[in-house]
Structures are given as C-alpha cells and as structure tokens.
Amino acid sequence: MVPWSVEQVLAVAPARTGAARPLAVPALWDLTGADGRSVWGRFRGGSGEPYQVLVDHAPGEGHHDIGTRCTCPSRVSPCKHAIALLVLWANGQVALADRPPAVQTWLHQRDAQSAARSSRADSTRRTPVAPAEIPIGHDPGAAGPALREPRSLGSDTRVERVTLGLRELERWIDDRVRVGLGDPSIARYATWDELATRLVDAQAGGMANRVRRLAGQVGARPGWHEHVIAELGVLHLLARAGQRLRHLDDPWADGVAAAIGFTVKQADVLAGVPETGVWVVMGRSDIVEDRIVVRRLWLRDARPEPSGTTQGWAVLLSFAAYGQSLDDSLAVGQSVHADLHRYPGTVALRALLGRRHDATSTSESGQGEHVAHVVDPVALASPSVAAALESAGRMLAVEPWLERVPITFTASPTTDDGTWVLADHTGAVPLADPSAGGTTELATLVAASAGAPVTVTGEWTALGLAVLTVHLGDRTLDIGPRGGFR
C-alpha cells in the first residue's frame, strides 16, 4: 500500500489546508492507525471531548470519492481534522495497525450505501451536477480525489434537494426584480407562500422562515420597498453561497449552512471545547415565529475587552410551542460562571451553556432569582453610539445575513422628526417600531432616562434598534418584547 503524497492530500480540499496544517501534529493525536483502505485516529485538541476521525482512502468501485467521518460539529466534509489525519499518514506518522471493529462497521455501511445508490441510479435518471458546481480548473476526468460529498450535511438527497430549492429561490428573486416591486404580484400572499412552501419541501427551513418574515414587510411602512429589495439581496447572497457550500472554508460553510436551515446536534456542540468564564445576561426577547415562541437570551463575556468576531457576545435560543412555558432559569441582569459552547460559524453567536461553576444563591428575602451582579453592565458598554454601530458593523461585515446583532451603549432617548432615537454627541440611531402593545416599553425607557443618558442593551436590526434592557445603577429593567401566547 502506497500512501498518498502530502500534495495529493492537500489537493483534496484546498480551502481547508490552512486550517488543517496546524492540526497535523502527532502530539495532538492518539489511537491512530492505518491499513490498505482506511486511516483512523482520535484528535485531542483541547479540554473538550476528543474527536473520532475515520477516513476511507481507497473506496474502490461504486464510490465517487474518498469518505471521511469526524465527530466534530463542522458540517462540511472533509473537515480539517480529516485532512490533518491524512497529512500525518502521508508523512509516515501513522503506523500500520489492525482495523478496529468500529472502522470495519463504517466501511461496511459505506459499501452498502454505495451499492444501493448504483442500483437506484440504474433505475432512475439522476440530475446531473450543473457546471457551476464543479470548481474552476478541476478536470472531472483526472485521476485522484474528485468532488467532496458533504458528509455531515446529511445524505446526497438532502444536499440535492436544498440546492434545487435554492435555485428556485434565485429564479423567484430574478422574477421579482424583472417585474418590479411595484407590481401587484408582490402583494399577493400566494407569491410568497408558494416559495416558502417549496423551500420547506427542499429542507431549507431557515430560508423559508426568512421569506415568510420578509413577506410581512410588504406594504408595512412607507419606503418598504427599499427594505425589501435589500433583504432580497441578502437572500440572493445566501442562495448563491448555499449552492457552493462544498467550496467554502469550514466556518463559512457552517455559518451559511446554519442560515439555510441545516441543524447541528446539541450533543455535538456540547462535546466541543467550551469558553469558560463569567457571562452576564444582558437582554432577553421573546418573539413568536410560526406559532413557536423563540426566546433569545443575550450573554456577554464579563471581561471588558474580549476578542474575536463575536466580541464577547453569545445568544442562547430556547423555544416553546403553544401550551409550553419558556425556560426562566436565567434573569436579565444575572451573571453566571459557566462553560459556553458555541455552534460553528464565522460569527458564532449561537451557543449553549454547559457546566456551571458557581453555587446558586438566592436573595435575602428569598424571592425571585435576583442574584447579585458580579459585573457592572455599564463597564461593558461601547464608549459611544458610533462605536456601538461600528461593533455591530464588524459582525455584519462577516455575516451580513444576521438579523439581530447585540450592542450595549449609553445614550439619551429623544425624538427626531417624530421618530424616537437614542443619541449622544457622536450621533443618533432610530428605535425599531414597537411591537404590538410595545409603547409601555418605550415609555419605561423614556421615564428611566428623564432626558438624561442611560445605558441600554438592544438588538440592532435592519429596521432599527430593538431595546431590550435599561441598565440602571441599582436595578435592571427588562423591557424586551414579550410576544407569547397571552
């Protein structure tokens, strides 16, 4: 058996070379082995659980290409761990060994799937891969590794379905642009509903939700068409990127895949390396989306100068259907010393809380969950309105499809030509339209300020700032939307 050269390995997925190289260090691996068909090993990168990596490097007839499997949360195959293992192997740093039973089982499964595929292919005509899918410069006839199959994106079928759905979305956007947003067709419910249904069928649920939300913006306010065309631009971007997932680097592919609707298992996220620290609950919003209440809890790293694209921010999502209650275990203003596990992506805001490290405490009166502040939220505020928008801009520059970006800053509520804004000497930002019955929240914000600057946390959206919290010296006012089944 002749192992591949390192150059051949790196040609498998050139986009992941940079990420894989630093991991191709024997000290980070154990329980490695290789034989005539496969390479296997365990990657120990940090304090989290190790990732199990398997590679089928000589699949033989019936398979399109090599197969890989890794327990890391990344959705794209081959992931950087698989490439790194192959590099080790190509460098002669993986010893010949007896194939473990788990690897054997996996190979059997792959062969069985491949046999099933070829018998299906004989009976049904498969959709040929469009030329746009093949990377520029690649000759399909050349020997060596061909197009990757995204492993953890699910089966062939799912990826195909999503791709077809995204192509339809592209065509639909094209139609809207030709005909114009002033055309009556855009105000018809069926125009949007059929597209959203089609996207759900194509298993692109994230896109379907965006389409439905955007449909609600048609005619919602003067100047709606400017907002709608901009959002169609973002949908176009996601549709194009979603059709090119295989050619994107891991974190980009993960971020786009999440926006489209590919899910990552909670267990996989919790198995990853956490960020341990003190997290302050800065804001909460409850929004009804398609008959489910989505609660967002925005957490902020208590350290004053955190780095990275998320700038110390994270969001916990929880859901409740009609009749269920939401998880109230964390109150705005509370802080927790805990492990935070982020879902993969370029702006990895979505996260899960893992192990807690502090003892819970109750207030003296024993009422409620008023755990004392460890951190003053004002210390976490951006120094100005302009700085806050800039920090939001940094996240949007990386993932422009983010619909809500968290910011904390100090400013005074005031009015500008009838619109409420928050302003300081660097400028003003508009408040988003209040949700139904939301004028109480606005009134609370204005009453709390009495014209003077206050520290607020809010979600920056394309339609303005949704204020979630007013951080006062001796108390925290939670004024986030309470959309729910009341």
Question: For residue 236, which of 194, 181, 174 has the smallest C-alpha distance?
Answer: 174
CA distance 98 to 161: 39
Q: What are phi and psi of 187, to 5 degrees?
A: -90, -5
CA distance 23 to 85: 8
Among 209, 217, 276, 426, the residue binding other proteins under the rule CB under 8 A is 426
Among 237, 270, 278, 288, the residue binding other proteins under the rule CB under 8 A is 237
Among 61, 425, 436, 486, the residue binding other proteins under the rule CB under 8 A is 425
Answer for the pair 388, 459: CB distance below 8 angstroms, yes or no. no
Three-state DSSP at 29 gives strand
Which range binds other proteins by CB under 8 A, 12-20, 69-77, 212-220, 390-398? 390-398
Which range binds other proteins by CB under 8 A, 3-11, 67-75, 321-329, 365-373? 365-373
Q: Which is nearer to other proteins, 112 or 447 (CB)?
A: 447
Among 131, 182, 184, 216, the residue binding other proteins under the rule CB under 8 A is 182
Task: Establish if 417 lies at the interface with other proteins (CB under 8 A).
Answer: yes
Task: Establish if 290 lies at the interface with other proteins (CB under 8 A).
Answer: no
Three-state DSSP at 359 gives coil
Q: Where does residue 290 rank: exposed (0-12), middle (13-18), buried (19+ CB within 10 A)?
A: exposed
Three-state DSSP at 408 gives strand
Residue 219: CB minimum distance to other proteins, A: 13
Which range binds other proteins by CB under 8 A, 87-95, 261-269, 373-381, 423-431? 423-431
Task: Establish if 323 lies at the interface with other proteins (CB under 8 A).
Answer: no
Answer for the pair 173, 236: CB distance below 8 angstroms, yes or no. yes
Strands (DSSP E) found in 260-328: 275-289, 292-301, 313-321
Answer for the pair 289, 209: CB distance below 8 angstroms, yes or no. yes
Which range binds other proteins by CB under 8 A, 59-67, 272-280, 304-312, 445-453? 445-453
Under 8 Å CB-to-CB from 420, ≥6 apart: which residues?
413, 414, 430, 431, 442
Which range binds other proteins by CB under 8 A, 82-90, 135-143, 173-181, 258-266? 173-181
Q: Which is nearer to other proteins, 144 or 233 (CB)?
A: 233
Site of interaction with other proteins (CB under 8 A) = 173-174, 177-183, 225-226, 229-230, 232-234, 236-237, 365, 367-368, 370, 385-386, 389, 392-394, 396-397, 400, 412-417, 419, 421, 423-430, 439-440, 442-444, 446-448, 450-452, 462, 470, 472, 474-475, 477, 479
